Structures are given as structure tokens and as C-alpha cells.
Amino acid sequence: MLFALASCVALQAQIKGTVLEDASGEPAIGASVVAVGTTNGTVTDFDGVFELNVAEGTQVQVSYIGFATQTVAAKKGMIIRLKEETVQLNEVVAIGYGSQRKKEVTGSVTSMKAEDFNPGVKSDPMGLLQGRVAGLTVIRAGGDDPTNTGFSVQIRGTSTLGQGTGSTPLYIVDGVPVSVIDNISPEEILSMDVLKDGSAAAIYGTRGTNGVIIITTKRGVSDPNLEKGKFNLEYAGYVSFSTVATKTGMATADQYRKLNETTGTWIKGTDKGASTDWYGEQLRDFGLTHHHDVAIAGATKNFSYRGAIGYKYAEGMAKKNDRNEIQAKFAADQTAFEGWLKLQYDFSYMHYKNNKFMGDLTSGAILNPTMPIYNADGTYYEPVGTVTANPIADNEQREEYNDGNVFHGSVKATVDIKAVPGLKVSGFAALDESDGYKYWRTYKDYYKANDANKSSRTTSRTLSQLYEGTIDYAGQWNGHTLTAVLGGSYQNFWYDGSDIWNGNYATDASGYYSMGDGIIDKDYSGMSSYRSENTLISFFGRANYNYNEKYLASVSLRAEASSRFGKNNRWGYFPAASVGWRIAGEDFMRDQKWCNDLKLRFGFGITGNNVGSDLMSVEMLSVGDDFNNHGIVAKSYTVSQNANPDLRWEKKYEYNLGLDFSFLQNRLYGTFDFYLRNTKDLLWYYNVPTPPYQYSTLLANAGEMTAMGMEYTISGVPVKTKNWEWTTTWTMAFNKNRIDKLSDPSKGFNYDVKWCGNVSGNKVNGTNTQKMMEGQPVGCFYGYKWTGEFDANHNCIYEDYDNNGKLDDNDKQYLGSAQPKMSYGWNNTIRWKDLDISLFFRGMVGNKALNVARWVYAPNRGSNGLNVFMKDVNDFASGNGTFFQADFSDYYLEDASFLKLDNITVGYNIPLPENKYCQRLHVNFTVQNVFTISKYSGMDPDRVNTTAIENTGINYVDFYPSTRQFQIGVNATF
């Protein structure tokens, strides 16, 4: 090396050249020009001209922000035309145990930065991505109850039968695998990277099957605007008002009283004289939510930090229902010993309190609207019939809240081994603790005497300890770039908790605070506690290689063991490999003006899905039922399951073919992905014979399933002028799955068909509406097919499928799929000077849903003690519908396709005169959940859960309203 350098010096001469922007021909001002492998370099002047002392023919690298870097041979009078590059190509993408620039990525990874997130009130960071990432399904099933923070999240549809850890992706927050992410304030998130395919996720082994979402939070070093020696103060806050956006579709008291006339006495109400809106009485007129986040970030030469504190108050639409949240977070980075040692600290804490709604909106919807709330004497009216609770009294005279804390702390130390350039050794330790407390009580005067004056208190804790060691290497030589990581990881989780309940207190003052004051009684006093633990140990390695950013490759392997596996199957191995070809980097593409970037990539990876809970492979003695132990009633000891020492992870093989492109001066860009997933060793409870087994089911690995799909993300910039810019982005995802094999007769596991999609409630008692079987996808509705005709008694006439003259199980046929054919999102951002407007639409196409409420609470033929759906009544009146039908048929199945305008945001960057105090002031106004277009009769088609497995597409009875929100927000940097 030294010798080579010396020879260069000998032959060097002054080379002069010009660097131009290819599209406009304008000079590139301040582009850097460096002789490859040296520190010998310069920058271009106002005319794009540079002078450099190198020998002719020397490779020089020309780089300029926003343009593709070029390496060319030096020549006198050379003119270098730089091609514009999408900024994103150089964006850093987190890939787990490291990062890559976007153009080097060979797996299927979608990287979302803060500016790509959904605006509006979000109960959990996943709301930020709802509809934004092709192939990522985010559903809020339970309505907008702020105390219920989670989303149902799924990447690329179903590829498990749900007996493992489910189908929720793995969340990695600042390097730590966690299960809860609602303690992260959206304002503190820098980026969220979605690792979709097997080749990207395999580095996470037994937790990779469902994909990985890597959340990186903001830190001092990640802020490009932060100058050394200075600090920034940022404020972000909003106030939001929510109103009810959904309708129950039930009759009002007046409509109810008129049922008789409307339906010619076929459907009658029981008039109790009053007029009560049981549903509306339990709701607020509007809900108030406000959130404030203050962050301070600063940097000195060797130290940078960011500290943030946030507060949030969110009211639910139901009375008494709200959530309080306070969060504190601190992240710091220290460099020491002249760069030999780098330390990274992260601490965060959240305290929350949820006040629960104790009424019942389902009762609110279905109670007879002519019943009064109060008796004549002012006491609460106690309904008789199917619903025996007065939900308004329930909310008044009962109380439940839960609160808890979430702690996170981690330290990472990285030693730069200067003896070997590019080699770094790191140690990482993280602790995550959370605890939760639930307090529940009924008051002494609770109108249901049997349940009055009781209370309970539940405590739960979880602790995760993570210890990791990694060795990183990064090297470059002659156009070859290699980065590699090798490491080991140990993570231990434990859970424990206890529950106590008692009753019969002298006064309401005791409640859950002084539970010993009650009188112990076997039927309503008691206690329980538990503890469990599991451990994951793994070793992993990955190497990423590229040649001149043209030929890319990546290989990885993780070996992982879980204490949940049977003792015959301790270790699992999860390899992956992917390759990429940046066609745009080839010489023959250099002159194609229309093409800014084009990359083809292919990946393969094996990922795992762990067993869903602890102690599933062994038989353990635990307390069983009572028996007479020779005069004393004692608890017997029993094993509660068959042991399976062969129990192990589900294994998914995934192939992914992808294309990334950017054309026409980056005015059209996007990504296509095609994938095929094949899951083997599916976990499932098999029916096994007794004898020889003691119990009739065994959790075992046998089945197989296949899923395939396509994802498209296409962005266009139809308008781009100095003052105007319009960017539009389409995402689309198609997914199909099929159960190939449920049984494995060679192992004695036989399974033909599993009826699922169980519906129970009111008049329906345990009816199955779906069938899982070999050769069919998950989520197929099976039942009678309605001919569209009614008999003389207005009952549905069903198709006699097997033509044998009677209606039986053999006439139940395929009625449709609960899986959408396509899901999509469409975002538009229009900027005019400092004003920007964005509109975001999203939706699903082609999925069937069962609106359980409409079925189980369908009007009776004859008298109705409960309220009725006006849709059914009106359908009956017009001859298109009927009263309650006991059998499940497509009469109750609906198309749940929808289009929703998720949000409209208007933002304005207030132009500020030059001042010492305020650098940036941005205000925005957002309307969320603007409108929904759908034929679906339920509360909101968006709440139909398509990520479930045995009951996908079944919209269980749930009347908590979805909300429409109006939000005003401010962001300021000082």
C-alpha cells in the first residue's frame, strides 16, 4: 500500500475537470472529488470545476449529496455528469444487528421515517403505519377505547395456524426484542423498518416467521441539525376532539314501538312505556385528547444526548373511560479514548392509568328502548329477560382501573479494535421491566345484591434480561465492500403475578385498598399466584457483500435454543441468503437518462415460530379437583397435558423476488415484491387416541401451509415546481394461503377438518361458521347457501346441495373467504410554498365478514324483548329479508370491502424572521377517520379482524364506537 502510494506521488500531475448535474446541466457546486483509497481530495467551485493532483488514469470518486457517486479514471479536462439519486437510496435502513444503505439492501425491507407516518392520535406506534406499508396489516379491532392500546398486526397474511406465538411480528426497539410498544411516544420515533421476508428476518431465528418491525428512537447523534456545543429544545403537542363515527343500526324507541305496523305483526316489540337511548346515555358528547412532548437534545465534541418527557390524556367516548400516560426518556452517546470506546445509554419510563368503562355498550345497543333507566322510586330499573343488567347503573356503581409502569434501561459498549481496521467488539445489556395493577370493585349499594360490595386486586410483573455480544467488521478493497457481524445472545423472561378478591366490607371506604377488612367467604374470597420463566439462547452471524454497489449478496445464520422446546429438539438452525443486482450501476445503463435506479433482488430464508407458552412439552403435576383424602377434603395432584419431548418450532421457508426502481429524474419510483412462503412443522393440537395417551389432544408439529403474494409500492411526482409539488403513493398487497397438510398419519396425527369460526351469543349457541381443511385457505366460511327465496313463514330456503331432499351437514357449502383479495393505501401530499396538504385513503377489497351482532340479535319472529336491527326490519318490510334464522348461511354474510379516507392534514410552516429563539414553527390540522364507503352493516368494516386464524373475518359483538377526530397540533424547535 505504501509502495503504491509512493509511486502515485511520483507520477501525479494537476488534473482539472468539471462536475455537472446530468439532467439540468447546471454545475455541481461543492461536490467532493477524491482519489480512491487516499485522503487526497478537493471540492468543486461555483462553476463545478475542480483541480486535483493525481496521475492521469487514477480512479477518482466523485460524490455529491442527492446524486449517485461515480468512480472514474482521471483525465485532463474531464466532464463528469452526475445522476440524481433518490435521497432514500442513501438512507440508512435498520436490518437487525446492523444497518445498510437502502441501495445495498437485498431483503424485502420497508423503511418508514417519521415524515412517512400517519398523523393523528395513536394509541400505539403501529397506528403510525396503518395502511402505509404494502403487506403490513394493522387492525384496531375493539373500537377506539383509549385504554385498549393494542393493534392486531400481521405481515404478509397468515402463515401459521396460531398455536405457536401467534402471527404478530417481532418488535425490536433500539436493539431489544420486546412484546409491548405502547410505551413509546410517536414523537420520539425516528424510523420504523419492516423486515418482511425470510431472508431479512432469519437473523431473528425462532421469532422471525411473522416478520420483524425495528423501531429506532431519536437520539442526539441522529439529529442532523444539531450543532456541536449547542442544544435544541423541541415541543410537539396537540389537542384533539373525538366524536362518534359509527352507528349501531338499532331501532329508536319510536321505531321499536312501530314494529308491529312496519312488519305486519311478524315482528313485535314489547312496549314498556319509556323512551331510553341506552347506548347514547352511556356516551360523552365528545372526547378530549391532548398530548405534549418536550425534548432537549444537545451535543459536545464527545457526548450527545436527547431527553424527552411526554404527557397524554385521552378520553374515550364512553363515560368514565380515559387514559393518562406520562413518559420520560433519555438517550446518550459518549465517545472516549480518542474514539476507541463508544458508549450508548438508553433509559425510558412510562406510567399509565386506565379508567375503565364499566357499563356495557352491547347492552346499550340491544336493550329494549322502551325500558326506563330508573324505577318510579328513583332506584335503578333492573331489566328482566336476556339482558338482566342496567348498564348505566353498572357504570355508576362499579369501578375498575388499572395502572402500571414500564421501565427500560440499556447500555452498549463498543470497542474499536484499531489494530484491525473496521473491527469492533460490542457488549450490550438491556433490562425491561413492566408491572401492572388492576383494581376492581362494586359499591355496597350496587343494585345487584349478589354482586354488591366486592373487590379484587391483581398484580402482574414481567422482566426481560438481554445480554448480547457482537463482533462487527467492515472493510473495503478494490470495489469490494464487506460488512459482517457475529454474535451471541441470551434473553430470559419471567412473569409473575397474584390476584386477591374479597367482599362484604363494612363501608365503601375499604374497597380494594384495605381488602383484609372484608369477611372471608369461600364463594367470593380467594387468592391465586403464578410464576413462569423462559429462556432463549442464540448465536448468529451475517455477512453483507457488494462489488461496486452493483453485485450484492448477504448470508446469515442463527442457531437458537428455547427452553420451550421439547428435550429431543433443543437447537434450531435458521439460515438465509439473498443476492441483488443493481442494474442501474452497470455501464450500459449509465447513459439511459430515464433510469435513475434499478435493482433486482432475490432472497431465501428459514425462520421459526416458537411454541406459544411455557411448559408445553412436559407433563407437570399441578393441583386438580377436590377429593376425599380419608376424611379430609384435599386437592388432588394431576398432570394436565400429554408430554411431547419432540415439540419444536414451526419452520417457514420463504422465497422473495423483488425489484426496486426509480425512473424519470426520480419522478416515478417504487418497489415490487413477489413471495412464496412454505411453513412446515405447524404447531397444532392433534386428536390422539386414549389409550395409549391419557388426554385426547397433543400439541405437536405436523402440518404444512403455503402462502404467496405480491406487494407493490409506486410513487409518482406528477407536479414539481418551485412552489408546487404533488407526490402520490400507491401501496397494494395481494395474499393467498392454503393449508397443504393438517395431518401426518406416519406420526399418528390425523385431522380431516376442523370446524371453527365459533359463534355464540343470545340465540346462537356454539355454531361453527368456518372450516379449516387440507387444500383450503384459512378463513373459509361454510354453511347453507340461501336461495334468495323465503317460504310461507318467511324463513330462508336453503340450497339442497347434495340433492337428497333434506337439509343436513352435507348441504353446507363454501360461502366465501374472510381474507381480502387486496388491501391498499393511497397517499397524496400537495405542497404549495410553506403549506402542505395530505390525504390518505386506505381500504380492503373482496373479504367477506360475519356481523355477529346482526345475526345473534336479529329480530325474533313474534315478540321481541330486545331491541332490533332496523336493517333487518326494513329488509323484512320490503320483502328482502327476514327475522332471526337459527342456521348459519350466507344470508348473514356480508361484503366487508371498504374505502376509507383515513386522514386529511393541512400543515403550515410559519415563515419566521431570523431570530435567536425559534428556529421552526409548524402548525397542523388533522381530521382522522373522515369517511368510510362500504356496504358492510356492522360498526366499521375496518374493525373486522382479518389477522385472526380460527375466527378471521368474524366481527364479534362489539359496540364500542369508532371515532372521528379533529386535531390541532404544533411543532416548534427552539
Which of 285, 509, 516, 630 touches other proteins by CB under 8 A?
630
Instruction: List binders of other proteins among 568-597 (CB under 8 A).
Output: 570-571
Which residue in the set 224, 809, 915, 916 belongs to the binding site for other proteins (CB under 8 A)? 809
Least Å from the CB of residue 62 to other proteins: 30
**Selected range binding other proteins among 271-279, 289-297, 688-696, 786-794, rule: CB under 8 A:** 688-696
Pairing of strands 152-155, 136-139: antiparallel
Segment interacting with other proteins, rule: CB under 8 A, options 332-340, 614-622, 661-669, 936-944: 614-622
Radius of gyration of the chain (CA): 32
Q: How many Cβ atoms from other residues are within 10 Å of residue 552's Cβ?
A: 23
- Alpha-carbon distance of 739 to 737, in angstroms, equals 7
**Cβ-Cβ contacts under 8 Å for 24 (sequence gap 6 or more):** none
Figure out which of the listed residues 271, 277, 281, 614 binds other proteins, where binding follows CB under 8 A.
614
What sign has the CA pseudo-torsion 102, 103, 109, 113?
A: positive
Of 490, 549, 544, 499, which is closest to residue 525 (Cα–Cα)?
499
For residue 184, give the C-alpha cell. 413509546
Tell me which amino acid residue 768 is: N
Q: Which of 24, 265, 375, 532 binds other proteins (CB under 8 A)?
A: 532
**SS3 of residue 205 by DSSP:** helix
Q: How far is the CB of 641 from other proteins (least distance, A)?
A: 7
Q: Which of residues 442-501 bind other proteins (CB under 8 A)?
A: 450, 471, 473, 486, 488, 490, 496
Terminal Cα-to-Cα distance of the chain (whole angstroms):
49
Q: Which of 52, 46, 58, 64 is nearest to 15 (CA)?
A: 52
Task: Return the residues of window 747-776 that contact other proteins according to CB under 8 A.
Answer: 748, 750-752, 763, 765-767
Q: Residue 243: in which H helix or E strand, if any?
A: strand 231-244
Residue number, 221 or 643, with CB nearest to other proteins: 643
Nearest to 249 by CA among 949, 938, 805: 938
* Cα 553–chain centre separation: 29
Contacting residue, 627, 724, 832, 931, with other proteins by CB under 8 A: 627
Q: Which of 305, 401, 669, 686 binds other proteins (CB under 8 A)?
A: 686
Cα–Cα distances in angstroms (integers) from residue 458 to residues 440, 529, 543, in the given order: 9, 9, 47
Q: Which of 7, 638, 810, 880 binds other proteins (CB under 8 A)?
A: 638
| The one-letter amino acid at 674 | F
Nearer to other proteins, 507 or 613 (CB): 613
Question: Of 126-134, 408-416, 634-642, 772-780, which segment contacts other proteins by CB under 8 A?
Answer: 634-642
Complex with other proteins: residue 10 or 384, whichever CB lies closer: 384
C-alpha cell at 479: 470495489
Site string for other proteins, 33-62 (x = CB under 8 A): ------------------------------
Pairwise CA distance, residues 649 & 949, whole Å: 18
User: Could you give the residue ranges of the DSSP H alpha helices within 823-869?
Assistant: 852-856
Span from 125-133, 558-566, 584-592, 731-739 in contact with other proteins (CB under 8 A): 558-566
- In the list 561, 659, 773, 807, the residue contacting other proteins (rule: CB under 8 A) is 561
User: What binding mask, one character per residue, do residues 919-958 give for other proteins by CB under 8 A, x or -?
Assistant: ----------------------------------------
Q: Is 697 in the site for other proteins (CB under 8 A)?
A: yes
CB of 214 to other proteins, least distance (A): 25
**Does 640 interact with other proteins (rule: CB under 8 A)?**
yes
Task: Closer to other proteins by CB, 548 or 622: give it.
Answer: 622
> Under the phi-then-psi rule, with left for phi > 0, alpha for psi from -120 to 50, and beta for the rest, what region is 723?
alpha
**Residues 319, 357: contact at Cβ < 8 Å?**
yes
Q: Which one of 129-137, 523-531, 592-600, 841-849 is the stretch in contact with other proteins (CB under 8 A)?
A: 523-531
Binders of other proteins in range 876-895 (CB under 8 A): 886
Q: 286: helix, coil or strand?
A: coil
Q: Of 271-310, which residues contact other proteins (CB under 8 A)?
A: none
Choose one: 702-710, 744-752, 850-858, 961-969; the region binding other proteins (CB under 8 A). 744-752
Residue 574 vs 840, nearer CB to other proteins = 574
By the rule CB under 8 A, 377 interacts with other proteins: no
CB of 615 to other proteins, least distance (A): 6
Site for other proteins, residues 409 to 448, rule: CB under 8 A: 419-420, 423
Place of cell 323512551: 275
Q: Least distance (Å) from other proteins to the CB of residue 422?
A: 9
- Beta-strand pair 78-82/13-21: parallel
- Rounded to a whole number of angstroms, the minimum distance from the CB of residue 115 to other proteins is 40
Question: Is residue 385 part of the contact set for other proteins (CB under 8 A)?
Answer: yes
For residue 69, what are the CA distances in angstroms to 90, 106, 264, 822?
Answer: 10, 20, 79, 38
Residue 501's CB is within 10 A of a number of other CB atoms, namely 18
- Give least dist CB 206 to other proteins, A: 12
Interaction between residue 613 and other proteins (CB under 8 A): no
State in angstroms the smallest separation of the CB of 816 from other proteins: 22
Cβ proximity to other proteins, 639 vs 906, nearer residue = 639
CB of 447 to other proteins, least distance (A): 15
Tell me how far, at minimum, the Cβ of 419 lies from other proteins, in Å: 7
Which of 417, 837 has the CB closer to other proteins? 417
CB of 297 to other proteins, least distance (A): 37
What kind and span of H or E run contains 676?
strand 668-687
Q: How many residues bind other proteins (CB under 8 A)?
A: 88
Q: Which of residues 212-271 bind other proteins (CB under 8 A)?
A: 270
Determine the interface stretch with other proteins among 107-115, 164-172, 281-289, 518-526 (rule: CB under 8 A).
Answer: 518-526
Q: Residues 5-12: contacts with CB within 8 Å, 24+ apart?
A: 5/38, 8/35, 8/38, 8/54, 8/55, 8/58, 11/55, 12/53, 12/54, 12/55, 12/58
Furthest C-alpha separation in the chain: 108
Instruction: Identify which of 971, 721, 947, 908 has the alpha carbon closest to the alpha carbon of residue 820.
Output: 947
The least CB distance from residue 385 to other proteins, in Å, is 4
Nearer of residues 665 and 767 to other proteins, judged by Cβ: 767
Residue 5 binds to other proteins (criterion: CB under 8 A): no
Cα 356 to Cα 316, 321, 380, 441, 465: the distances in Å are: 9, 5, 21, 12, 31
Cell numbers at residue 267, please? 315482528
> Are the CB atoms for 368 and 433 separated by under 8 Å?
no
Phi then psi dihedrals of residue 326, to 5 deg: -130, 135
Within 856-875, which residues bind other proteins (CB under 8 A)?
860-863, 865
Binding other proteins (rule: CB under 8 A), the pick from 88, 562, 715, 889 is 562
Rounded CA gap, 411 and 431, in Å? 9
Q: How far is the CB of 263 from other proteins (least distance, A)?
A: 15
Please choose, from the candidates 701, 843, 682, 699, the residue with its C-alpha nearest in 3D space to the C-alpha of residue 778.
Answer: 682
Q: CB of residue 197 vs other proteins: minimum separation in angstroms?
A: 27
791 binds other proteins (CB under 8 A): no
Q: What's the burial of 955, exposed, middle or buried (CB within 10 Å: 0-12/13-18/19+)?
A: buried
Nearest C-alpha neighbor of 855 from the set 783, 802, 774: 783
- Apex CA 104: angle with CA 100 and CA 109, to 5°? 70
Considering only residues 80 to 119 of the shown chain, the ones binding other proteins according to CB under 8 A are none
Residue type, 484: A
One-letter amino acid for residue 770 of the chain: Q
Contact predicate 489/540, CB 8 Å: yes
